Chain A
Amino acid sequence: MITDDELTTRLARADAASNVRTTPETLDALLVATGELEALTRPRRFRRVALLTGGVVASLAVTAASPVGAHVIDSFVALTGWNPAPSSEIIENSPWINTGASDFEEYARTIYPADLALPASVSSETVFDYGVAAHQQNPGTTQAISVVRTFETAAQCAWLGEFSEARAGGDTARADAALAVIRASADWPAIVATDGGGIADSIRDFADNAVDGDVRIGSLGIDCAGFDAVQDAAQAAAGESAE
């Protein structure tokens, strides 16, 4: 067998990057150009334009009536009608919406995924209210898919809570069922559509490790504090009304 030092030497020789040289100027140019492009394509930069457009659309929204068909959805004030040039930040076929619009909540109801899986202890209204409030707290222009992503992330938080609670209570079957949904969430539409950096992979890694008993919720990079607070409040309210 070769020695450990020899192995280190051979591994170092096999480093494909050892012969690659680039100029600092080239890297710097890429960094600066990316920043400039990013600044141009950030939705907030276009918020004023979107709000002006929204004023025109508002008159249509007043006359909108149910049922919610395509022509009615088109008349939401929340729909900006903004259609920017494509970039890596933009998800195709997802309209740009103004989350500060007066009918944003009404519009959000039309895009809430009706089949979004939730634990028995969490209502779809809790997830919906949380998602709407989260976007209304920071009003601006964003794509509809990002609102759906917020609903999906809230559902993930709900399942993580279910998993943790079942695990703490020694209910293996319930914990396994929750973990199966968490794993499946890697394929939820908005998570897939907005995954720019291996989010789905981190979900699957989390599930793989959790099966082995290595539970690292932090590795998911999901901040569930806001949703957990809303869910706790909802449960407390439900408990009070039951008494």
Chain B
Amino acid sequence: MTGATDTAVPASTFERDIRDVMPALLAYFVRRVRPQEDAADCLSETLVVLWRRRADLPTNPDAQRAWTFGIARGVLANQRRGRVRQTQLADRLRSEIAVQPAQAVDSTDTESALDALPERDRELVTLIVWDGFGVAEAGELLGLKPDAARARYSRARKRLRETLAAG
């Protein structure tokens, strides 16, 4: 809490744990940031925060993943406020993302249906379907109780089915 404390977590242990979750974190940002290559800067910023808070990193892999995504959510919020800067560290990753081919499948209608959902419902659905979280886990990330998350998820899917059928 003081900001002056140091951490006892060895760098090698931290790197090993974070290395495993980095592709998922990058995918999280690629799905939510435009232009896509800005995901590199978001990942870089997330790593900085993770390094700084590595003493708080849970030991359980599932808890680790949820915790790192919680930090990624915060970075995403900052990115949307224009508070994530481009860094040279992320240049190489930025270049790799920038040359990715466009999606072969036109999914404009699905994206529009998702955009029509309230923000928290959209995030709940995408955390579950794209990022692979369970309903309760995704709800926890969004500050929802498991029952509330299940009810919201069910309602959101129903609304998506209706919107896509109407389109």
Knowing A16-B30, A37-B89, say if A142 contacts B4 (CB, 8 Å).
Answer: yes
> Bound state CA distance, A185 and B113, in angstroms?
35
Knowing A4-B161, A138-B2, A150-B1, say if A27 contacts B26 (CB, 8 Å).
Answer: yes
Asked if B82 lies at the interface with its beta carbon under 8 angstroms from chain A, I say: no
Asked if B118 lies at the interface with its beta carbon under 8 angstroms from chain A, I say: no
Residues of B within 8 A of A214 (CB): 143-145, 148
- Convert B88-113 into 0s and 1s, putting 1 for each residue whose CB lies closer than 8 angstroms to a CB of A: 01101100110011111101001100
Residues of A within 8 A of B74 (CB): 195-199, 201-202
Q: Which of B43, B49, B96, B160 contacts A196 (CB 8 A)?
A: B49
Asked if A112 lies at the interface with its beta carbon under 8 angstroms from chain B, I say: no
Residues of B within 8 A of A143 (CB): 3
User: How many B residues touch A, CB cutoff 8 Å?
Assistant: 70
Knowing A8-B129, A149-B3, say if A198 contacts B143 (CB, 8 Å).
Answer: no
Closest to A154 in B: B1
Looking at chain A, what size class is its interface with the partner chain?
Answer: 35 or more
Residues of A within 8 A of B129 (CB): 8, 11-12, 15
Asked if A146 lies at the interface with its beta carbon under 8 angstroms from chain B, I say: yes
* Interface 9-residue window, one of A28-36, A57-65, A76-84, A170-178: A28-36
> Bound state CA distance, A1 and B6, in angstroms?
56
Asked if A113 lies at the interface with its beta carbon under 8 angstroms from chain B, I say: no
Within 8 A of A (CB), among B14-37: 14-15, 18-19, 22-23, 26-28, 30-31, 36
Closest to B11 in A: A35
Asked if B124 lies at the interface with its beta carbon under 8 angstroms from chain A, I say: no
Within 8 A of A (CB), among B27-53: 27-28, 30-31, 36, 40, 43-49, 51-53
> Bound state CA distance, A214 and B123, in angstroms?
19
Residues of A within 8 A of B11 (CB): 35, 39
Give the most central of B4, B5, B30, B100: most A CB within 10 Å.
B4
Asked if B150 lies at the interface with its beta carbon under 8 angstroms from chain A, I say: no
- Convert A119-163 into 0s and 1s, putting 1 for each residue whose CB lies closer than 8 angstroms to a CB of B: 000000000000000110111111100110110010000000000
Interface positions of A (Cβ within 8 A of B): 1-4, 7-8, 10-23, 26-35, 37-39, 42-44, 88-89, 99, 134-135, 137-143, 146-147, 149-150, 153, 194-199, 201-202, 205-206, 208-209, 214, 216, 219, 223, 226
Q: Which 8 residue pairs are nearest across A and B when measured between Cβ atoms?
A: A198-B74, A197-B74, A146-B3, A14-B107, A17-B27, A14-B110, A38-B51, A34-B47
